Amino acid sequence: MGALWPEGAEPLDEFVARLLRVGDELYRDLPWRHIDDPYAVLVSEIMLQQTQVTRVGRFWERFLEAFPTLDALAAAAVPDVLERWQGLGYNRRALALKRTADQCAADGRGRLPDSYEGLLALPGIGPATAAGVMAFAHQVPGVYVETNVRAVFLHELFPHEDKVSDKMLEPLVAAAAFHPTAAADPRRWYYGLLDYGAHLKATGVNPTRRSASYSRQSVFEGSRRQKRAWIVRRVLAAPEGVEVAAVRADLDRAETEAARDGVDEALFASIVDDLVTEGFFRREGALLIP
């Protein structure tokens, strides 16, 4: 691993020791930390994707209160799961969690796989999420590249470079994570990186803008994403179903009240088709049913 370390950079031993100290100083006491339940960790990891830490806490606790285990989530109806997710946005994440629970229940395990490869085979779980569950629930080191970890490595090792790809970062993240000092306590190592990265952003430094994967989040109001979320909420509010035409009329009215143009018919039909395909609700004739 040492051969991969950038020439001229702080030696790996010193880098790991210093970042552990910095992480300890910046440590945030969050409710999903230092727990051994892989399912609870997974819920936190999925919720933290594209959502600020300050918003996740109450949603995480509320979701686990309703669905405390994978089996409980598997037994739940999709509308109930989506209802508990409302307010977090990016509802596809809730559906992916539900499908993961369904798959684990169908396999007869009732629990998540305890390997990186097993987690990666589940719906909606990518390399970073799988590595996060392994590190935080199982204390197994891995290559966990999420936005705050990315920020730290860009800030520390690529201070003057733009368009730095994750392919450049991954071997360096691995070299540090598998260093004996970091690997002795993966939770501490990655908690520290997450807290250091958050600190950099809070103090006006955002190294992730120099990442090749960086893109500004589009404006939500008036966007297709906003209309998707509105339609999901409207259908979930009608347990017996609601006519497609009524949803379209209500959305038109909401857009007009927000001083926006009415919804294009083709756009509305496209969004509804996507939501049906993705499993948010079903279509029976003229009705949309949760």
What are the residues facing 242 on neighbouring strands? 288
Helix (H) or strand (E) holding 283: strand 282-284
**Of 187, 196, 182, 185, nearest in space to 151 by CA:** 196
Q: How far apart are CA 17 and CA 189, in angstroms?
A: 10
In the sheet where 282-284 sits, what is the strand order? 242-243, 287-289, 282-284
Q: How far apart are CA 36 and CA 250, in angstroms?
A: 45
| Dihedral sign for Cα atoms in the order 274, 277, 281, 285 | positive
Q: How far apart are CA 124 and CA 94, in angstroms?
A: 10
Residues recognised as catalytic: 45
Q: How far apart are CA 101 and CA 50, in angstroms?
A: 21
